[in-house]
Structures are given as structure tokens and as C-alpha cells.
């Protein structure tokens, strides 16, 4: 190359963005999922594509990586360092893969070949370095493993994927992605499958590598708070079109599109006091607690399991009380014992020791028939509405089933009760004859709540009721739950890993770690004056970079109880 040419190409390099998309559209057959999307990402910068499920954000990432399934077709332009990528034949695009564009996938548990050792797969990434010496390549792999915070690189190298935890696997995958020193890293929801504290560590790692290695980051996320914390600019997507784009500060402090404003309002981390009026009655009940016996009393409950000959204490000496009409949150990461705790509370599991009483009646040690009378007053809403409803039943039958089982009322009375429960959760009667497959995730979870309401229980146990749902749908469900509590005086036990959400709706909180309750208190005590280091680490894992933008926003109260839009 002549010196002059090199000069011009250098100046080009400085002025062109690293990645630029223009008029990018993706269609599966005739179904268009992304239309006319454009964005620019500068060198060493971070760009977040945010949106809910179906917004096309992951499809865009796959289009940039050219990893769309065979039925997907991308059109428009995607330029990398000025080079158009979409039209390149596969043979000429392959040198970009890994070497210049790295990929960090969403679910680390499925992203490494389960039957091959991690080392063998790492060496594939190392092969992209122009380094002929195998021993040196292996040394580089081990060095990278150490760099991404894996304690024992050689052990990781020799392990199979199933022998490592999700957080470790994501570190491995990030290591493999940065190993060939790409200039762009595409991270597709890199933390949504991980526990909150690990999520923060992984994001910190990505930020650190981005800075140290001068890598540009294209971050795909559904979490506005994460985007605010980690990206320089943001593209907000809905149904495959750009709703708003701009610098992070602008999109946060002055969102111009109604969708971005709504999304902003729905993110729990940004709006801790959103439901204050709805929670007031609960706080009043809590204030009067000395005069009444608690609705739920759990005292000294311990449960052990034997796995592979080892004794595992899933729940260790757990005690808590819940006042009638309040929400008690059990918070913890996976394996903390919160699910086992509610299974014991529901009588689905017998504790080894301890005592559980609901409404003054003891739950544990009952025969199955006696448990039935407890269940009339104690209902469960399961976390995943996509699997908790019978797909072959219409939802009217699903909601009516508890009445049929308990033989409550005449046929007409049951039909009326079902309609009442439907109205309570804001579902239209025209949906009664639908099967779950014809409903959205939010509608399904409303059906599940209606099913638990139909017996007129006093206590509802909510096991991560919104973790499978989008943030705007989550806001709808939370509103339904809080309105019902304000109206009917229900007592909730709310299990969640999402502290920001807990802060929005709980009255009292128990923080669980490895089967024990490490801290217990009112929502104010836990969030404003945490005493335990573990609680503090959980609180720190709530993306906080957004908080400063959030305060600039005037507090907007939602209209209480919006009817579900007609599907």
C-alpha cells in the first residue's frame, strides 16, 4: 500500500463509526420483525439496544453477526469499519467472525458444547490469533481466563460446561469472545439468565474489558436500568422499529417518545415509590401489628434434603410473621431456599422441625384431607404463566376448577364467581372461552391470579409472578395485585430475586442466603438502613447509574387499574 493511501485510509478510520446500520430490516419469510432500523456505534463506545420481547433487538444482533436462522433474511446496510457486511459472501465474512466481531450470548448454560471440554472450545477461539505455537495459544487462553476473573484457569480449561456455574460459564464465554481482540463485542442479554449479584459482576467485567481493550460494546438488553448504567447511547425499539435514539442522558432525562416514557415509568429500579397510595393500607395494618395476631406465623422451620449422599440444609431455622393485609417479600438468589420455604408454607413439603400457622391454624403435620381446608384460604400463583395453565382447557374451566374441586355453590354461582374474578383482574369476559395459547403472557398471569382469587382466599403466595414477563406487563400485574390487596385486604407472600420490584410493593422483607434469613425488617429498614453485608451487596446489584436520571424525572402516578386492552 502506498503511504498516501494509508494516510487516507487512516483518516477514514477516524471519521467513520465502527459499526453503522442503515435501513436495516429483517424478515422471516413474509413476516417482518425489524423495519428500517439505523444506528451508529463509535470506537470504544457502548450502544444499548433496548426493548421488550418481540421488539427485534436480538434479531438485530443476530443480523449484525450474520447468525440469523436460514429462514431469516436481512436487507439494508450494516457497515463495519466502512465495509458493508450483509452482502458479503459467507467466505469473505468469516474472517470478521470472532477476530473483529465477538459475540457474548444470552444463556451461558446452553452456549458451550456440553460434550466437549471447555479447553477444546477455547482453543477454537485461540486459533483466530495468528499464533502458530499451540503451547503459547494455550497459555493465552489461561491468561484470558484469569483476566475475566476465573480463579483456577487450568481447572476451568479441563472442565466440561456442566461442571461450572452459570456465572463462571459466562466469564468463559466473555473470555473466548475477547481473546482474539475484536474491536466490537455484541452482547445479547449477557446477564438475564444470571443471579443479581453475579449480573453486576459480569457487567462490571464487560465495562472493564471494554475500557482496557478499547472494545466497542453493542449491548442488547430488556433492562432500561442496565442500559442507563452501561451505555453511552441508547436505541429504544418496539415491534421492530426505532422509537427513540440518542445519548443515554437525553433518553433518560428527557425521553421524547411516549413508549420510552412508558418504559421509563415501568422500570421498578427507577420508580421505587410508584404505588405508594395502593400500599398505604398495608402500612397502616403493619403499624397496628401489636394489637393483632399475625396472619402467617413461621417459627424455627428447618428442612434438609439428601442429595448424592450429602445432606443439604435447604431451609435453616427460618422464622417470620406476616400481618394480615400486608405483603411480605422473601428475597434471595437461586439456591437461597426461598422456594423451599414457600413449599413448606403451602404444606407441599413437610419441615423437619418448626411450626407454621396460617390464620391461627397450624399447616404442618396435617393429613392431605386436612390440608385441603387450609388451601381454601391459601393460594399460589406460580411464576411462569406459560407452563402453569393447562393448554387444552379454556380459561373459564381453569378458573372454575377450584370451585368444582371444593364443590362450592351451584353451577350458576360458580359461573358468576368466575366472571367476578375475571373482572377483578381486569380481564374482559370475551376471553373466557379462549385457550391459554390465544392469550398474551400478561393475560395468562391474570388468569392464574383469577384462579387463585376465585376461592376468596386470605393469603396468596406469589412465586416470582412476573419474572417471565416483560417490564411493562410486569407493571400491569403488580398494579392488579396491589389494587386487589387494597380492595380485598389480601395478605401476600411474595418471592422474588428482583429487589427493585420488592421495594415497589412489599411492606416487610426477609433476605435469605443459603437457607437462612440473614436480615429481616420493614421495606424502609432493609432498603434505607441495611445492616448485613449480604443485603448491601444485593442492594448494590440494583443498577444504580440510572438513579441520577430518575430523580430528574417528576414522579408520575399511574392511573389506578387500567383495563386490559382488548386482544
Partner 1 sequence: MSKAYFDYAAKRLLQAIVVILLSYVFTFVVVSILPGDPITNVLNNPQNGFTPNEIKEIIAAQGLDKPIPVQLWSAFSGFVTGDLGLSMRTNRPVATLIAEVLPSTLVLASAGLAVALFLAAIIAYGTQFLPRRFGQGLLRGFPSLFLSVPNFVIGLVLIHLFGFQLGVFRVIEPDSFWATLFAAIALGIPISAQIAEVLIANLDHESGQDYAAVARGRGLGQMRLFVTHLLKPSSLPVITVVALTIGELLGGSLITETVFGRNGLGSLVQRSVSTQDLPVLQAVVSLAAVVFVVVNLIADLTYPLLDPRVKLLGGQERRPTTADDSSLPISKAVTR
> Which residues contribute to the site for partner 1 (CB under 8 A)?
62, 65, 67, 69-70, 94-95, 97-99, 101-103, 105-117, 120-121, 124-125, 128, 160-167, 169, 173, 176, 180, 192-195, 308, 334-335, 338-339, 383-384, 463-464, 467-468, 495, 497
The least distance separating partner 1 from the CB of residue 274, rounded to whole angstroms, comes to 23
Of 423, 437, 460, residue with least CA distance to 328: 460
Is the Cβ of residue 191 or residue 248 nearer to partner 1 in the bound state?
A: 191
Strands 296-307 and 310-322: antiparallel
Q: How far is the CB of 334 from partner 1 (least distance, A)?
A: 5
Q: What is the DSSP letter of 99?
A: T
Q: How far is the CB of 467 from partner 1 (least distance, A)?
A: 5
Question: Of 59 and 248, which has the nearer Cβ to partner 1?
Answer: 59
Least distance in angstroms from the C-beta of 435 to partner 1: 22
Q: Closest separation between CB of residue 113 and partner 1, Å?
A: 5
Distance between CA atoms of 362 and 374, rounded to whole angstroms?
9
Nearest distance from residue 33's CB to partner 1, in Å?
Answer: 17
* Angstrom distance (rounded) from CA 427 to CA 449: 11
Residue 537 grid cell? 451487596
Q: Which is nearer to partner 1, 218 or 455 (CB)?
A: 218
Smaller CB separation from partner 1, 164 or 251: 164
Q: Which three cell numbers stand for residue 158?
A: 479441563
Q: Which is nearer to partner 1, 159 or 553 (CB)?
A: 159
The helices-and-strands tally (H runs, E runs) of the chain is: 22, 20
| Residue closer to partner 1, measured from CB, 339 or 491 | 339
Output DSSP code: residue 71.
Answer: T
- CB nearer to partner 1: give 74 or 486: 74
Q: How far is the CB of 168 from partner 1 (least distance, A)?
A: 9
Cα-only R_g, the chain? 26
Q: How far apart are CA 357 and CA 1, in angstroms?
A: 82
**CB neighbour class for 105 (10 Å; exposed up to 12, middle 13-18, buried from 19):** buried
Q: Which residues partner with 43 through β-bridges?
A: none
- List the grid coordinates of 502: 420488592
Half-sphere exposure of 320 (CA within 13 A, CB side): 27
- Minimum gap (Å) between residue 171 Cβ and partner 1: 12
- The CB-side HSE value for 68 (13 A sphere, CA atoms) comes to 23
Cα(539)–Cα(535) distance, integer angstroms: 6
CB closer to partner 1, 78 vs 357? 78
The CB-of-294 to partner 1 minimum distance in angstroms stands at 25
Q: Are 508 and 279 within 8 A, CB to CB? A: no
Distance of closest approach, residue 97 Cβ to partner 1, in angstroms: 4
Question: In angstroms, rounded to a whole number, what is the distance separating the alpha carbons of residues 45 and 217?
Answer: 6
- Which triple of cell numbers denotes residue 12? 477514514
- Min. distance of Cβ 470 from partner 1 in angstroms? 13
Integer CA distances (angstroms), 175 to 179, 180, 211, 219, 249, in order:
6, 9, 15, 16, 30
Q: Which is nearer to partner 1, 234 or 511 (CB)?
A: 511
Within 10 angstroms of residue 166's Cβ, the number of other Cβ atoms is 17
Residue closer to partner 1 by CB (options 88, 547) is 88
Query: Nearest Cα to 457, choosing from 376, 536, 400, 399?
Result: 376
Alpha-carbon distance values, 42 to 60, 100, 218 (Å) = 17, 14, 10
**Residue closer to partner 1 (CB basis): 296 or 468:** 468
CA separation for the pair 145, 179 (Å, rounded) = 9
Amino acid at each position: 500500500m502506498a503511504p498516501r493511501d494509508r494516510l487516507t485510509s487512516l483518516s477514514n478510520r477516524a471519521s467513520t463509526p465502527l459499526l453503522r446500520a442503515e435501513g436495516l430490516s429483517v424478515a422471516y419469510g413474509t413476516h417482518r420483525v425489524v423495519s428500517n432500523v439505523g444506528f451508529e456505534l463509535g470506537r470504544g463506545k457502548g450502544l444499548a439496544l433496548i426493548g421488550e420481547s418481540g421488539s427485534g433487538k436480538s434479531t438485530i444482533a443476530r443480523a449484525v453477526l450474520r447468525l440469523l436462522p436460514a429462514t431469516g433474511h436481512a436487507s439494508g446496510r450494516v457497515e463495519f469499519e466502512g465495509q458493508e457486511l450483509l452482502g458479503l459472501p459467507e467466505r469473505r465474512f468469516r474472517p470478521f467472525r470472532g477476530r473483529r466481531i465477538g459475540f457474548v450470548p444470552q444463556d451461558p448454560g446452553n452456549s458451550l458444547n456440553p460434550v466437549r471440554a471447555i479447553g477444546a472450545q477455547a482453543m477454537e477461539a485461540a486459533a483466530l490469533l495468528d499464533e502458530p505455537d499451540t503451547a503459547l495459544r494455550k497459555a493465552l487462553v489461561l491468561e484470558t481466563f484469569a483476566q475475566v476473573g476465573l480463579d483456577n484457569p487450568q481447572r476451568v480449561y479441563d472442565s466440561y460446561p456442566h461442571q461450572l456455574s452459570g456465572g463462571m460459564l459466562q466469564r468463559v464465554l466473555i473470555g473466548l469472545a475477547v481473546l482474539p481482540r475484536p474491536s466490537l463485542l455484541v452482547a445479547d442479554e449477557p446477564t438475564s439468565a444470571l443471579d443479581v449479584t453475579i449480573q453486576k459482576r459480569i457487567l462490571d467485567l464487560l465495562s472493564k474489558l471494554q475500557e482496557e481493550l478499547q472494545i466497542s460494546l453493542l449491548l442488547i438488553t430488556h433492562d432500561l436500568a442496565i442500559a442507563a448504567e452501561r451505555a453511552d447511547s441508547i436505541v429504544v425499539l418496539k415491534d421492530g422499529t426505532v422509537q427513540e435514539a440518542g445519548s443515554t442522558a437525553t433518553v433518560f432525562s428527557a425521553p421524547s417518545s411516549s413508549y420510552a416514557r412508558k418504559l421509563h415509568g415501568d422500570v421498578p429500579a427507577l420508580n421505587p415509590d410508584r404505588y405508594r397510595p395502593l400500599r398505604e393500607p398495608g402500612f397502616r395494618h403493619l403499624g397496628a401489628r401489636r394489637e393483632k395476631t399475625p396472619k402467617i406465623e413461621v417459627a424455627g422451620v428447618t428442612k434438609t434434603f439428601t442429595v448424592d449422599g450429602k445432606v443439604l440444609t435447604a431451609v435453616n431455622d427460618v422464622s417470620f410473621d406476616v400481618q394480615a393485609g400486608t405483603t411480605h417479600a422473601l428475597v434471595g438468589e437461586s439456591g437461597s431456599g426461598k422456594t423451599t420455604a414457600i413449599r413448606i408454607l403451602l404444606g407441599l413439603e413437610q419441615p423437619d422441625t418448626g411450626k407454621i400457622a396460617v390464620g391461627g391454624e397450624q399447616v404442618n403435620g396435617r393429613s392431605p384431607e386436612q390440608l385441603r381446608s387450609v388451601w381454601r384460604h391459601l393460594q399460589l400463583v406460580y411464576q411462569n404463566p406459560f407452563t402453569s395453565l393447562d393448554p387444552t382447557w379454556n380459561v373459564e374451566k381453569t378458573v372454575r376448577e377450584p370451585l368444582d374441586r371444593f364443590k362450592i355453590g351451584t353451577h350458576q354461582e360458580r359461573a358468576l364467581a368466575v366472571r367476578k374474578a375475571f373482572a377483578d383482574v381486569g380481564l374482559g369476559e370475551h376471553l373466557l372461552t379462549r385457550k391459554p395459547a390465544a392469550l398474551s403472557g400478561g393475560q395468562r398471569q391474570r388468569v392464574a391470579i383469577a384462579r387463585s382469587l376465585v376461592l376468596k382466599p386470605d393469603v396468596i403466595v406469589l412465586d416470582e409472578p412476573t419474572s417471565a414477563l416483560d417490564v411493562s406487563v410486569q407493571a400491569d400485574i403488580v398494579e392488579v395485585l396491589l389494587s386487589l390487596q387494597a380492595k380485598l385486604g389480601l395478605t401476600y407472600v411474595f418471592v422474588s430475586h428482583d429487589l427493585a420490584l420488592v421495594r415497589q410493593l412489599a411492606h416487610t422483607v426477609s433476605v435469605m442466603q443459603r437457607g437462612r434469613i440473614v436480615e429481616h425488617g420493614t421495606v424502609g429498614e432493609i432498603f434505607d438502613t441495611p445492616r448485613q453485608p449480604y443485603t448491601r451487596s444485593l442492594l448494590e446489584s440494583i443498577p444504580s447509574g440510572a438513579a441520577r436520571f430518575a430523580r430528574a424525572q417528576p414522579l408520575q402516578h399511574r392511573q389506578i387499574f387500567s383495563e386490559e386492552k382488548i386482544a
